[in-house]
A and B are shown apart, each in its own frame.
Chain A
Amino acid sequence: MSDLDRDLRALGTAVDWPETPDVAGTVRTRLPGQRVLRRRVARPRPAWLVILVLALIPASAAAITPARTAILRTLGLSSTIRVVELKRLPLPAHTRLVDQLGPRVTLARARLLADFRVKALPTAPRTVRFSDALLGGLVTLEYPDALIMQFAGRSTEYLQKLVAPPARARRVRVGGLPGIFISGGPTQLLLADRHGEITAIGGVPINANVLLWDAHGIGYRLQTHEPLAVALQLARTLR
């Protein structure tokens, strides 16, 4: 073995690969003829693995059971955000999401508690909530024309969005960073853990557009009734 051979082999263990996602559960739900949603998989993960899940559902789908879900495709967005397209959404509302967003706090308090730099629009938010359901914190800012959520992305966490017709997801750029814009259908927020187990679902579907993006490890979700151009403008003014 030459020195170059040896060095190249050594380099193989020193390369910075992204963490391999566990796709086994998702793949299984997508196998034709399989009707299992996602079974819980025992993995050596910390207990804080809670994932914010955001769903777009047709209002008539609220009573569909999880076992009937079929995944059409998954759109990844960095390691923090993922959009899952379903034939229809399986999610019955059973827990108030607002309880999972944490108590109301001041913006200054949220900035103190969060493990990342909390950004805000130039105008003062109407309400601010902080939740420790996610490692590093989940901060929700409510404005008259937008709701902005942000959290510290970890490779083991996902902002997951379930999309079903008539809503559609498309890839966009947010200030040069990869993003996804979802429009055309009502939305519903929910929380789930990494294995797809739902822990909370917003009770009433919200008819709004949603812009998702990841900026250097911080995940953002901006919900607004405005079109994409305005959503992008709002995103750009976050400071």
Chain B
Amino acid sequence: VVASPSDDPALIERARRGDAAAYEHLVRTYQHVAFRTACLLAGSAADAEEAVQDGFVKAWQALPRFRAGAPFAPWLLAIVANEARTRRRAAGRRAGWTLRAADAARSEPASSPGPEAAALDAETRAGLLAALAQLDERDRTVLALRYLLDLGESEMAAVLDCRPGTVKSRLSRALERLRVVMAT
């Protein structure tokens, strides 16, 4: 059974009282977005997995400080992002996650390209990936969080450790630079 975000307040309250089963529901709900976010920031799937595990454990320990009624995802993602950055610094990596297009032949049903992706021809996809690769990491990350992970502003702000208003301007500038790269 996987919880839905609408279950969060009740699950969080139970978890704050020490209910590990409730917290496990939360972990299962958010581990997917947490892992992908960590992948972007840590630069390796192995480090991302460690970051997600440690992030969830730290979030459990910090639950007494979680503001009741606040959305869980931004708060959690901020913790996971911090763990991912720490690992990346420790590993001395410079580049972030390398984006690659999925090989259609080995795509699983759950992650198979949807109608939008199908409409995105291989040439456009390759061009976009190449253009993203030319951006600096700061721009690439903000675009990936918005478009590839479909995060909202508050979640992006938490991951990027900035104000929501700053997310808008950073996203706008990154898009502009991407357009320039694609035009050249």
Contacts and interface: CB of A to CB of B under 8 A. Distances in A.
Interface of A: 4-28, 30-34, 36, 73-79, 178
B10 interface: no
Nearest to A32: B61
B49 A14 contact: no
B28 A30 contact: no
B99 A23 contact: no
Contact of A73 (B18, B50, B129): B50
B173 to A, nearest CB: 14
Q: Of A15, A28, A73, which is in contact with the most chain B CB atoms at under 10 Å from its CB? A: A15
Q: Of B20, B125, B143, B179, which is in contact with the most chain A CB atoms at under 10 Å from its CB? A: B20
A189 B108 CA distance: 32
A23 B103 CA distance: 26
Contact of B49 (A5, A8, A17, A23): A23
B128 interface: yes
A30 B23 CA distance: 12
Interface of B: 18, 20, 23-24, 27-28, 31-32, 35-36, 39, 45-50, 52-54, 56-57, 60-61, 99-103, 108, 111, 113-114, 116-117, 119-120, 124-125, 128-129, 143, 146-150, 175, 178-179, 182
Contacts of B49: 21, 23, 74, 76
Given A4-B179, A27-B57, A34-B20, A13 B116 contact: yes
A24 B28 contact: yes
Contacts of A14: 101-102, 113, 117, 120, 125
Nearest to A36: B20
A178 B46 contact: yes
A15 B102 contact: yes
B57 A11 contact: no
Contacts of A77: 46
A23 B24 CA distance: 9
A118 B111 CA distance: 31
Contacts of B125: 10-11, 14
Contact of B128 (A11, A16, A34, A76): A11
B100 A16 contact: yes
13 contacts: A4-B179, A10-B117, A11-B128, A13-B113, A17-B102, A21-B35, A21-B52, A27-B56, A30-B53, A31-B20, A36-B20, A74-B50, A77-B46
Contacts of B114: 13
A178 B91 CA distance: 12
B24 A28 contact: yes
B46 A76 contact: yes
Nearest to A11: B128
A9 B150 CA distance: 8
A10 B31 contact: no
Contacts of A178: 46
Nearest to B149: A12
B147 A22 contact: no
B98 to A, nearest CB: 9
Contacts of A10: 116-117, 119-120, 125
Contacts of B175: 4
Contacts of A6: 116
A24 B101 contact: no
A111 to B, nearest CB: 24
Nearest to A44: B110
B116 A9 contact: yes
Contacts of A79: 45
A18 B31 CA distance: 13
A211 to B, nearest CB: 17
Contacts of A78: 45-46
A20 B27 contact: no
A10 B125 CA distance: 9
A24 B20 contact: no
B148 A27 contact: no
A31 B60 contact: yes
